[in-house]
Every structure is written in structure tokens, then in C-alpha cells.
Structure 1
Amino acid sequence: MKFQLKNIVAVMAMALAFVSCSNDDENPANNITGTGKLDVEYDNVFGSADLILNSQANVTSQGETLNVSDVKYIISNIVLTKEDGSTFVYPKAQGYFIVSEANEASRVLKLENIPAGNYTKIKFGIGVDEAQYNAGQTVQGDFFAYAQDEDMAWSWSAGYKHLLFEGMFTSSSVTTSTQFMIHTGKSGADYNYKEVTLNFPDKALVRTNITPDVHIFADVAKIIDGTNKIKLSDNNMGGMGAMIMSGSNLALITANLSNMFTVNHVHND
């Protein structure tokens, strides 16, 4: 009887182990083979409020009120880091995007052919890197023409606009609604390209049958109201409005972009 009982216990243990292995194999989180997709979603906000173009009064810590009409930025050079520290560099040829608040579809970057894995970090550039620009216009393919169509480039010699931030503002000293325009990009000896690295609060599980969505908040208030405080009224040029496209403030704004982006959450659907 004891012998039979031992045999029954052994058979049950083997059955449980088999079921456990089967469940592990069927769990998509454990099938780390092949390639998958990853969506990177940029959600523009102003401080704690969702950004609404043309109708929202946004107040900075400098006491200026902004009505934002347009926000665009180039995202490039995406690098994804796995939990083991290894990285995947997204191909340059497909790796330049223009995110526009006015174009909802542009705000989700649909990355393809990503090696399956558990990803914990993303790095990306804001703008077109100097090496790519110096490689010449023909290397850009159709992207330079696309950037011109999106008002994200000047002439080829002047280069790309890495970030565009425009609208109207008022302040204690500028009481009439006045235009502001901020464009980062090449200015003299300064190229003003910036890279940002963000950690994920949860792993992004890229699988053949799972496409994670990494939801990034972009706080556009930080452009002029970040570590460096820039007053539009100090840059007001009378009838032309506040124009920041060169000068020392452009470097300060570029530095602010380091803290403009945060990962709010990751969906593994």
C-alpha cells in the first residue's frame, strides 16, 4: 500500500510539473523569440493639464500667460535597452519622426521589427543629429522634403528646426496679446541637438503577439519654464513679437528639453 501511494504521489508530481511547463510555454511573456512591434506615444501637456491648442490659457511661473497654437518636434536615434542591459538601435533610415500636436496620428511612433524582449529604457534625440545633417541632403532621402512641408526646416544650409513652439502671450509688461515663436536648431557654432534617456516604470514586453505602448508625457511648459527660466517679454521685439531662434537663450532652452519628457505608463496589450 505504501509502495502504491508513493507511485501515485510521484505520478501526480510529474503531472503538475508538466502542466506548469505547459503553462509557462503558453504564457506570451515567456516566449521571448522572434520580433515584434512597439508603440511610443507622445502626449503633450502644459504642467498638469492636457495641452489644448488655440484656446487654453497656460500660466508660467514667470507670470506670463501663453495661448499655444503649435508644437512640433523631431524624434530621432531611438535606442531601446533590455532588462539585461543589451540595446537595440532602431535603424536610422526609418528612425526620424515629426511629432505634431495638431496631427494626432503623428503622436504615436509605430516601431517595427523589434527583437522580442523585456525593455526597460528608451533613449531618443530631439532633432536631426549633426552627423546625419553633415552627411548631406541626399542622405536624408525624403525626410528633408517632409520636414519642409511640416515647417520643420529652413533652407538646407540653415538646417532643420528641431523643435517648434508658437502661439500668443501676455504678461504684466506686455498687456496686448503678442506672438511668440521659438525654434531650436543650428545657430552659429551651436547645433542644439539634444538626447533624452527615460526609464520605464514597468517592463515593455515586446513579443510577436504583444505590442506594448510606451506613453510619454511631454511637458511643453518646460521649454521656457524648466531649470532655465526664459521670459518671453524679455525677448519681445515690438511688432515682430517674441522671437527666440538664436542667441544665448536658445542653448538654455535646449538644455531644458532634458526634463521635458517623462514616461507616464506602459501598456502590454
Structure 2
Amino acid sequence: MKNNIKKAIALLVIATTLISCSKSEDAVSGTGSLKIQFENGFAGNELVLGAANMPTSQNEVLKVSSIKYIVSNIVLTKEDGSTFTYPKASSYFIVDESTPSSLILNLSNVPAANYKSITFGIGVDQAQYELGQTGIADFWTTAQNAGMTWSWASGFKFLAFEGTFTSSTVTTDTSFMIHTGKTGTDYNYTEVSLALPEDALVRTNITPQIHLSTDLSKIIDGTNKINLTAHNGMGMGAMIMGGSDLPLITANLSSMFTVEHVHNNPN
């Protein structure tokens, strides 16, 4: 009798394990969707366009009127270390604070998996740029319409950060304009890699949302400190679109993003 009971228990355990494994395998098959949400802030505070922000380490007070940046080349890393690269032709987005719908990127046909980190570019990578204007024609038109291009020779604006500032010597609101992109021998494209605090569980019936916080103060007040007052002159305000400070600003961008949390939301 005891042997029969033991056998019955053993069979039940095996059956339960097989069912559990089967359900687990079913759960990570197929494809699903993933959302990436950007929340732009400034030095730990919510960004309000046109409102004064906290002073930077250079004792300058910025009022941001516009912030746009190109997000591209999204790569997701699975828990086993393998990666999924989102198709490059679909992997160019413009995040624009004045357009709320642009703050959430919607990725489709993502293989079901547990993803532990994300990598993306700020700007358009040089290899894609070198394909020529026809190689990225659709996005070129989108970027033109968004004011995120120069001439084709200079290509795309990777980041456009604009507004006004004051300082101890600049006492009235004075315009500033920072545009990154290809300048001379500097291409100024950069990548950001972020570990997720919990796995993003892409499933056919679960659409994770990765919530990213963006600290715009890091553009000029990151590892490299950029003084807008030093660039102010000739009645045109502070304009940084080239020169030695632009690669320093580009280097700051990789520390501008942090992961707040991940929502694994059922569809």
C-alpha cells in the first residue's frame, strides 16, 4: 500500500513538472511588443518647458524651450546573454518633449524572452549615414519635418537643446542653442547601455514598459562642465554646434539616462 502511495506521489510530481515546463515553454514562444517611455527632467525635477530650473554647477539658470533627440539602434539583451537587435530600418525615433506621443516608443515583433538590459544610440550611426540620403530616405524626411537635419552634407541633428539662460554676468534671459551631430572629423554619435532593475518579460500576452528618466542637466553639467556664458557673444546668445565642447557634450549624454522601473503589463 505504501509503495503504491509513493508511486502515485512520484507520478504526480513528474506530471506536475512536465505541465509546468510545458507552460513555461509556451509562455516564452512567439513574439510580443515592448514600450520604452522617456520622462525628461532637469537635475531631479520635472521638466516644464519655459520655466526656470535649478542652477547648474556653473551657477547658470536655464529655461528650456525645446528638447529633441534621436533614439536609434535598439538592442535588447536576454537573461542568457544573447541579444535581439531591433530591425535597423524601423529603429529610428525622435523624442520631442513638446509631442507627448513621441515620448513612448512602441516596438513590435519582439521575440518572447526575459530581457535584462537595453542599449540604444543617440543619433544616427555613421554606417547608416554613409549609405547616403536614399539609404535612409523615409527617416530623413521625418527628421526634416521635425527640424532635426542640417544639409545632407552635415546630416542629422542628433540632439537639439534650446532655451534661454541667465548667470551672474548675464542678467537678462539670453538664448542658448546646443545641436549635436556630424561636425568636421567628429561624428558625435553615442550609445547608452542600461541594466534593467527587473527583467522585461516580453510575451504574446504581456507588453513590458521600460520607464527611463532623462536628466537634461547632464547635457552641460555632467562629467564635463560646459559654461554657456563663455559661449555668449555677438548678440546671438550661446550657440554650440561645433568646436571642442561638442564632443564633451556628446560624452555627457551616456550618463543622462537611468531606468526608473519596468512594468510587465498583461495585454
Please state which band the TM-score falls in when normalised by the shorter chain.
over 0.9
Q: Does 1:136 align with 2:153?
A: no
**Amino-acid identity (%):** 56
TM-score by length of 1: 0.93
Which sections of structure 1, spanning at least 5 residues, go unmatched? none
* CA separation of 1:174 and 1:238: change in aligned 2, threshold 3 A: farther
Secondary structure at 2:37's aligned position in 1?
Answer: strand
Cα distance, 1:9 vs structure 2: 4.2
The CA deviation string for residues 201-228 of structure 1, in whole angstroms up to 9 with x for no partner, is 1111111111111111111100000000
Separation of aligned partners in 2, 1:238 and 1:171: 17
Deviates more, 1:163-172 or 1:8-17: 8-17
2:242 corresponding residue in structure 1: 246
Separation of aligned partners in 1, 2:203 and 2:53: 42
1:192 corresponding residue in structure 2: 188
Q: Does 1:92 align with 2:88?
A: yes
1:6 corresponding residue in structure 2: 3
2:171 corresponding residue in structure 1: 175
Cα distance, 1:56 vs structure 2: 3.7
Q: Does 1:78 align with 2:108?
A: no
Separation of aligned partners in 1, 2:259 and 2:14: 39
1:108 corresponding residue in structure 2: 104
1:223 corresponding residue in structure 2: 219
The CA deviation string for residues 1-44 of structure 1, in whole angstroms up to 9 with x for no partner, is xxx2432343244335434544554469x721111111111111
Q: Does the 8 Å CA contact 1:168/1:178 hold for their aligned counterparts?
A: yes
Separation of aligned partners in 1, 2:242 and 2:171: 25
Which sections of structure 2, spanning at least 5 residues, go unmatched? none
Secondary structure at 2:129's aligned position in 1?
Answer: helix
1:162 corresponding residue in structure 2: 158
Separation of aligned partners in 2, 1:180 and 1:96: 26
Secondary structure at 1:132's aligned position in 2?
Answer: helix
TM-score by length of 2: 0.94
Q: Does the 8 Å CA contact 2:52/2:61 hold for their aligned counterparts?
A: no
CA RMSD of aligned residues (A): 1.6
Separation of aligned partners in 2, 1:55 and 1:62: 18
For 1:143-158, what aligned pairs fall within 5 Å after superposition? Answer: 143-158=139-154
Q: Does 1:34 align with 2:30?
A: yes
Q: Does 1:15 align with 2:30?
A: no
1:51 corresponding residue in structure 2: 47
The CA deviation string for residues 72-123 of structure 1, in whole angstroms up to 9 with x for no partner, is 1001111111111111111111010000111111111111111111111111
Separation of aligned partners in 2, 1:187 and 1:12: 71
Separation of aligned partners in 1, 2:133 and 2:95: 21
Separation of aligned partners in 2, 1:25 and 1:101: 44
Separation of aligned partners in 2, 1:262 and 1:134: 31
Deviates more, 1:241-250 or 1:207-216: 207-216
Separation of aligned partners in 1, 2:161 and 2:109: 32
Separation of aligned partners in 2, 1:141 and 1:208: 32
Q: Does the 8 Å CA contact 1:79/1:87 hold for their aligned counterparts?
A: yes
Separation of aligned partners in 2, 1:25 and 1:174: 67
Cα distance, 1:194 vs structure 2: 0.6
Cα distance, 1:140 vs structure 2: 0.8
Q: Does the 8 Å CA contact 1:58/1:67 hold for their aligned counterparts?
A: no
